Structures are given as C-alpha cells and as structure tokens.
Amino acid sequence: MSAATLAGLTGALLAGLGLYGLIIQPDPLRRILAFNVLGSGIFLLFGIIARRGAVAGALADPVPQALVITGIVVAFAATALAVALLVRLSGETSRVDLRAELSGQTRGDGADD
C-alpha cells in the first residue's frame, strides 16, 4: 500500500471519528474540536488526490493543495467565530447548554460549524 493510500484511509477514519464526536458530544467546545477533526480528515483526502497527481516538476498536484490551504484558513476562521459565540453564551447565561435556550424555538444546533 502506498503512503498516499494509507493517508487516504487515515483521512476516511478521521472523518468518521469526527462525525461521531460531532453527533454524540454534548459539550459544544468538544463538538468544535470534533468538527475540526472531521475537517482535517477531509483535507487529507484532498492531500492524497494531490499526491497521486504528481508529475515531473511537481511532487504533488498544486490545485488540491491550494484548496486545502484555503480550507485550513476558513476552518480556523469558523472555529474562532464558534468559540467566540460559545464564550459569549457562557458569559451571558453561565452555561454552555444550547438546548434550554432554544426550547420552543426552532431547534438549531448549527452553531458548531
């Protein structure tokens, strides 16, 4: 098995693991972490596509690499915004539970992404 395939399978496992954490973790900060694990798994899939596209003059296809770099930046921005929302929520209500505030309203746990 080549290094690229191995990294790809690792990426698939990371994505599954992150997805699991995103669903089962009650703590929103843990969900943010799980979301980042999920994201990095997907980035690795891009990485192996880049590596498999290597040609003379480039050790890896630059297009997926550039997409991943953009992705890392955007994921960081989203994480920072989610963390700021969470800290603000806890400062306001002294709790990090999303459900109590949302009962009776539309259920939306999408603050994590």
**Among residue numbers 31 through 90, which ones bind other proteins (CB under 8 A)?**
32-34, 36-37, 40-41, 43-45, 47-55, 57-63, 65-70, 72-74, 76-81, 83-88, 90
Q: List phi, psi (to 5°) of 55.
A: -135, 175
- What is the nearest approach in angstroms of other proteins to the Cβ of residue 67? 8
Distance CA 21, CA 102 (A): 22
- What is the nearest approach in angstroms of other proteins to the Cβ of residue 38? 9
Which CB sits closer to other proteins, 20 or 106? 20
| Segment 51-55 long-range contacts (CB within 8 Å, at least 24 positions apart) | 51/3, 51/4, 51/7, 52/4
**Sign of the C-alpha dihedral computed for residues 24, 26, 31 and 33 taken in this order:** negative
Rule CB under 8 A: say whether 5 interacts with other proteins.
Answer: yes
- What is the nearest approach in angstroms of other proteins to the Cβ of residue 113? 13
Count of residues near other proteins by CB under 8 A: 81
